[in-house]
Amino acid sequence: MSQERKDNYYLALRQIARVANSNLSLRRILNSTARSAARAVGVSGCRICLLDAQKEYLINVGVHGLSDFYLKKAPLDARKSIPEVLEGKVVCVTDVSQDKRVIHPQTAKTAGISSIMAAPLMEKGEVVGEIRLYTHEPHQFSAADKNFLLTVANMSAVLLERDELHRLLEKGYKLPGEQTTPPQLPTTARRPTEFVHPSEEEFARLLDFYRIEWLYEPRSFPLRWENGSIAEMCTPDFYLPALDLYIELTTLKQNLVTEKNRKIRRLKELYPEINIKLLNKADFLRLLAKYGYGSLGEAKVPNIERILFTHSQIQRRVKTLARKISRDYAGKHLTLVGVLKGVVCFMTDLMQHLSIPVTVDFMGISYYGIGEDQVVKITKDLDESITGRDVLMVEDIVDTGMTLNYVLRHLQSHDPASLRVCTLLDKRVRRLVDVPLDYVGFEIPDEFIVGYGLDYKGEFRNLPFIGTFHPQPKKERISPK
C-alpha cells in the first residue's frame, strides 16, 4: 500500500473520531463519516444505513454524494440487494449492470453508479446495518479498502449504540445493577429523520406511540416521462411496512391539495398494486382533535351539531347485538373485556341483555398526547386470567384501529380459547390498521362524536345520545328527543 493511501486512511479516521466527539447531531456526524470514508477511498458516494425492526429495509442514516433520485428509489430491501452483507461479509460489485445482486441496475446506471462495496455494521455479533461505497467509474476495490471500510463500519456501529444509550439514559434507564428494565423504545426512535413539515413529525410521533413501524419518504414514484427521462415524481410522506401502506399528508392550502389529489390518482393508475391513503387537513386535524388539540381543541364554546343516534335507537341496536352474541356463545361462559373509559355506557347496557353467563373485566391504557409516555402502555391490566377463556373485546368506537390493534395483541399473548371483537361504532373510512370486527353496532361517517360514554377532553360522556361535536355554537341548541 502506498504511503499516500495510508495517510489518507489515517487522516479520514482522525477526522471521523474528531467529529464523533463533537456536539453535532447524529445525522450530521454520520453524514460527515460517510464523506470522510468516500474521500479516503477516492470514490464518489457513501451511505450508512440501519435495518428496520423487521430486518427488511435499510434506512439511510448518513449519506454523502448520492443523488436524491437514487436515494428515493424503492426502499432498499436488505434481503434482495447484496444479501451476503447480512451474513457479515464485505461484498464488492465491480460492475452493477452485470451483477444480479443489484436490484435496481437501471436506476444505479441512470444515477451514474458503476461499482459498489458494502460492509456490515455489527452490534454484539449481529448485523444491524450496512455501509456502502459507490463509484462513477468501474473500480477494483483493494484488500486495504475493505479493511478500511470495515473499520469505519465498526466506528459507525459504536456511534449508533452510543446514541441509543444516551436516549435510554435520558429516559431514566439505570445502568446494570440498578434493577430497572430498559423501556422498550420503538426502533424508529433512534432514527434521525428530518421532517419537511411539523405535521409529519407529529404523525410520526403518533405512529411511534402505537408502535407502528414507519419509513419517511422511502420511495419516489415516477409519474411522467419526457424524452426518456423522468419529468414528474410523487414521494409519499410515509410507508408503514407492517401494513404495506403509503400515507400522504396534505395539511396544505386547498389549491395545492387539488394538485396532490391529481398526483395520487395518477400514482394509483400507474401502480395499481400500491396501497396509498391521503390524509387531508380535515382528517389530520380530527385525528389530533381526538387527543384534545388541533383546531377542535381551540374551541371556546362547544356544541352538539347533530344527533346521530338517539337513546332509543342505541338501545334497540344494543339489544339486537346482545341477542346475536348470546346465540353465538350458547352453552359457553363469556369474558367481556373493555378498555376504560369510553366503553362504560355500552358495556353496562350490553351485559344486561346477554342471556349467557358472563364475567366482566376492564383494562386501562395510556392515550397519545395525554401524559409523557413515549409509547402506548397498559395502565390497568385485567384482574383475572383469560388463558383458555372465550373472550369478547368490547369497544365503544374503532377509528384508526391503532388502539384495538395494540390491545388485541396484548390479549392474544395470554392465549385465550377464542378472541372476538364487538364495537358499538365503526368509523371505517378512517381505518389505518385493519382489525377484524365480529359485531358492529353502527358504521358512522368521518365526524368527531361525543356522548354515550365518548368524550371530548373528558366531557360529554354523560349525554344519553350520540351526537356530532362542533366547535362553533349553533344559534339553537339541539336537545335530545
How many residues appear in the chain?
481
Only one of the segments 144-152, 306-314, 327-335, 400-408 lies at the binding site for ligand IMP (rule: CB under 6 A); that segment is 400-408
x-or-dash pattern for ligand IMP, window 352-391, by CB under 6 A?
----------------------------------------
Strands lying side by side in the sheet with 466-470: 303-309, 466-470, 449-450
Kindly tell me the sign of the dihedral angle through the C-alpha atoms of 248, 253, 256, 258.
Answer: positive
Number of residues this chain uses to bind Mg ion (CB under 5 A): 3
State yes or no: is 399 an active-site residue: yes
Query: In angstroms, what CA-CA distances link 57 with 210, 215, 300, 464?
Result: 20, 9, 46, 49
Q: Strand 439-443 and strand 418-426: pairing?
A: parallel
Q: Are 296 and 286 in contact (CB under 8 A)?
A: yes
DSSP-assigned states of every residue in 171-224: TTPPPTTS--PPP---GGGG-----SSHHHHHHHHHHHHTT---EES---EEEE
* Residue 441 in contact with Mg ion, rule: CB under 5 A: no
Cα-based distances in Å from 220 to 69, 119, 201, 216, 390: 8, 26, 19, 11, 46
Q: Which of 208, 237, 390, 399 is catalytic?
A: 399
Which one among 400, 421, 441, 466 touches ligand IMP, defined by CB under 6 A?
400
20 makes contact with ligand IMP (CB under 6 A): no
Q: Are strands 303-309 and 466-470 parallel, antiparallel or unpaired?
A: antiparallel
User: The sheet that has 215-216: what strands, in order across it?
Assistant: 215-216, 238-240, 245-250, 276-280
Among residues 396, 419, 452, 463, which is the contact residue for ligand IMP, using CB under 6 A? Answer: 396
How far apart (Å, rounded) are the C-alpha atoms in residues 305 and 445?
14
CB of 404 to ligand IMP, least distance (A): 6
Q: What is the smallest separation between the CB atom of 423 and ligand IMP, expressed in angstroms?
A: 9
State in angstroms the smallest separation of the CB of 323 from ligand IMP.
Answer: 24
Among 448, 451, 465, 466, binds ligand IMP (CB under 6 A): 448
Positions in 360-379 near Mg ion (CB under 5 A): none
Question: Residues 283 to 342: which contact ligand IMP by CB under 6 A?
Answer: 290, 342
> x/- binding map, residues 380-419, to Mg ion, per CB under 5 A?
----------------x-----------------------
Is residue 467 close enough to count as binding ligand IMP by CB under 6 A? no
Pairing of strands 126-135, 115-123: antiparallel
> Quick one: which of 129, 186, 236, 342 contacts Mg ion (CB under 5 A)?
342
* Residue closer to ligand IMP (CB basis): 45 or 467: 467
What single letter denotes the amino acid at residue 98? Q
Give the CA dihedral 420, 425, 430, 431, nearest 10 degrees.
Answer: 0
CA distance 75 to 141: 26
Query: Which of Mg ion, ligand IMP, none has residue 75 at its interface (CB below 5 to 8 Å by kind)?
Result: none
Examine residue 191 and tell whether it contacts ligand IMP (CB under 6 A). no
Question: Is position 398 an interface residue for ligand IMP (rule: CB under 6 A)?
Answer: yes
Number of neighbouring beta carbons within 10 Å of residue 112: 15
Cβ closest to ligand IMP, residue 222 vs residue 369: 369
SS3 355: coil
| Nearest to ligand IMP of 83, 480 (CB atom) | 480
Which of 129, 401, 451, 467 touches ligand IMP (CB under 6 A)?
401
CA atoms of 345 and 363, how far apart (whole Å):
15
Q: Closest separation between CB of residue 457 and ligand IMP, Å? A: 10
Binding window for ligand IMP (CB under 6 A); candidates: 232-240, 275-283, 314-322, 392-400: 392-400
Do 49 and 58 contact (CB within 8 A), yes or no?
A: yes
- Number of chain residues interacting with ligand IMP (CB under 6 A): 15
Cβ closest to ligand IMP, residue 125 vs residue 436: 436
Q: Which of 78, 245, 393, 397 binds ligand IMP (CB under 6 A)?
A: 397
Among 148-156, 178-186, 313-321, 449-457, the segment contacting ligand IMP (CB under 6 A): 449-457
Q: Taking CB under 6 A as the rule, does residue 403 contact ligand IMP?
A: yes
Site for Mg ion in 95-154 (CB under 5 A): none
Distance in angstroms (rounded) separating the CA atoms of residues 162 and 271: 41
Could you list the active site residues?
Answer: 399
Using CB under 5 A, list all residues that contact Mg ion: 339, 342, 396
Using CB under 6 A, list all residues that contact ligand IMP: 290, 342, 396-404, 448-450, 454
